[in-house]
Structure 1
Amino acid sequence: MIHYFKKAEEGKKTFLLLHGTGGDEMDLVPLANMVDKGNGILSIRGAVSENGMNRFFRRIAEGIFDEDDIRQRAGEISDFILEASEKYGFNPNDLIALGYSNGANMIAAMLLLKGGIFRQAILHHPMVPLSQVGDINLEGTSVFIGAGTNDPIVTGENSQRLYELLKGNGADAVISWFDKGHSLTKEEVLASREWLLSQT
């Protein structure tokens, strides 16, 4: 997979970064550095192209996902994380997953498909990625959700449903609301930073 890697400082963890639709592996690097510049970074470019825009899985229409493709791509990313951890020498169990929009949806899907894959996750403007979810155990997993009160892509009801789905399966989840639509603002990034600091 096309990716960017930065080694963590001594004693620090590593971010897994998954960008939004049309982004690439460098998009969220400044954001990750704002949250904790000492952490390492494994940032992956989405392998699906939609009209020339990078994504992490196919969709049938706006807000309607190809769920078989989600499952396949989630498995591929999981495998790549293990390969990268061996190549670069980081602990895959200590990854902090951070995603925006399409990337946040993929991280949410990975949590719902393989409970415990990430102990900490920061999801900016995600939505419920799967219509059917099996029994999962998310105890020991902490999740920050940044949602928009007036997001034109993700309804407040959908954001709340994802929060309740994660929390209902054992995750220590919090949801913070912002009024800037689907945009990822400095205010939201700083809120996620405060949340992450509270976890350690």
Structure 2
Amino acid sequence: MAEIKFVSGSPLRAPLIVLHGTGGSVDDLIPIGRFLAPGSPIISIGAPLIEDGQSRYFRHLPKGGFDLADLAIQTDWLLDEMSAAAAENRVPLAAAIVIGYSNGANVAVRALMTRTVPYRTAVLFHPMSLGAITSFARPADAEVWVSHGSRDAIVSAANFTALTDDLTQAGVRTTIFTHDQDHNLNEDELKSARTWLQESGRLHL
């Protein structure tokens, strides 16, 4: 069963929902959330699955690639968990900002483009395309900040371009930050994401 942690904050600040990367834990992105949006309440939802000894939000196929059927199941689970955690902790889910890294970013951005989701703002570190999308949800007033490393051994430049093209087709306003490192987080991208959030007008209720 996935672990969920809540960090209280100002009722005048938009809550954050943070989703960690592959092999991570519910604690990983809480410090990053505090850095990006000081004072915001934080809901951290841990990945529900263990695959090859690593935590994940959805499964891979035995021969490689993404298990899109399981992704659909786990996306339903994640959206239900978001709703339940927001209600339990009395934070406005409609104003929530999703902060995701790698595997957590992947499920968040795919859901945003293909589902009716309760959030419209996201900061996504090193997300990737999970495959072709046949039907876009076209969420109203959605806006995301996304990052990519030019030396990323996991997310190729072509894959990242496919993702940002899909975001454009879905009608999601997208700000792109690139750096010349790998799949890692670095100070420059964290500062860029924080500035973007501060200027977005979406941190204050």
Same fold (TM over 0.5): yes
Distance 1:54-1:62 versus aligned 2 partners, 3 A rule? farther
Unpaired runs of 5+ residues, structure 1, are none
Q: Is the 8 A contact 1:128 1:162 kept in 2?
A: yes
CA distance in 1, matches of 2:11, 2:92: 13
Q: After TM superposition, which residue ranges in structure 1, 4 or more long, deviate above 3 angstroms?
A: none
Aligned twin of 1:84: 85
**Is it true that 1:72 corresponds to 2:73 in the alignment?**
yes
CA distance in 2, matches of 1:23, 1:69: 19
TM-score by length of 2: 0.92
**Is it true that 1:135 corresponds to 2:136 in the alignment?**
yes
TM-score by length of 1: 0.94
SS of residue in 2 equivalent to 1:99: strand
Q: Is the 8 A contact 1:108 1:129 kept in 2?
A: no
User: 1:68: how far off?
Assistant: 0.5
Aligned twin of 1:55: 56
Which amino acid in the other structure matches residue 124 of structure 2?
L
User: 1:82: how far off?
Assistant: 1.1
CA distance in 2, matches of 1:191, 1:59: 31
- Equivalent runs, 1:14-53 vs 2, <5 Å: 14-53=15-54
Which amino acid in the other structure matches residue 136 of structure 2?
D
CA distance in 1, matches of 2:42, 2:77: 19
Distance 1:56-1:134 versus aligned 2 partners, 3 A rule? same
Which amino acid in the other structure matches residue 121 of structure 1?
A
- Equivalent runs, 1:8-19 vs 2, <5 Å: 8-19=9-20
SS of residue in 2 equivalent to 1:123: strand
Greater share of strand: 1
Count of paired positions: 200
**Is it true that 1:145 corresponds to 2:146 in the alignment?**
yes
Distance 1:133-1:196 versus aligned 2 partners, 3 A rule? farther
Q: Is the 8 A contact 1:125 1:154 kept in 2?
A: yes
Which amino acid in the other structure matches residue 148 of structure 1?
G
**Is it true that 1:171 corresponds to 2:175 in the alignment?**
no
User: 1:63: how far off?
Assistant: 7.0
Aligned twin of 2:8: 7
Unpaired runs of 5+ residues, structure 2, are none
CA distance in 1, matches of 2:5, 2:50: 19
CA distance in 1, matches of 2:58, 2:158: 23
Q: Is the 8 A contact 1:98 1:104 kept in 2?
A: yes
Q: Is the 8 A contact 2:102 2:127 kept in 1?
A: yes
* RMSD between aligned residues: 1.5
User: 1:109: how far off?
Assistant: 1.5
User: 1:116: how far off?
Assistant: 4.9
**Is it true that 1:192 corresponds to 2:193 in the alignment?**
yes
Identity %: 28
What whole-Å deviation, never above 9, does each CA across 1:16-75 have from its counterpart, x for those lacking one?
111001100000111111111211111011011012211100012697110011110000
Q: Is the 8 A contact 1:138 1:166 kept in 2?
A: no
Higher relative contact order, structure no. (Cα contacts within 8 Å, ≥ 6 residues apart)? 2
What whole-Å deviation, never above 9, does each CA across 1:109-146 have from its counterpart, x for those lacking one?
21122145321101100101243331321330010011
CA distance in 1, matches of 2:185, 2:151: 13
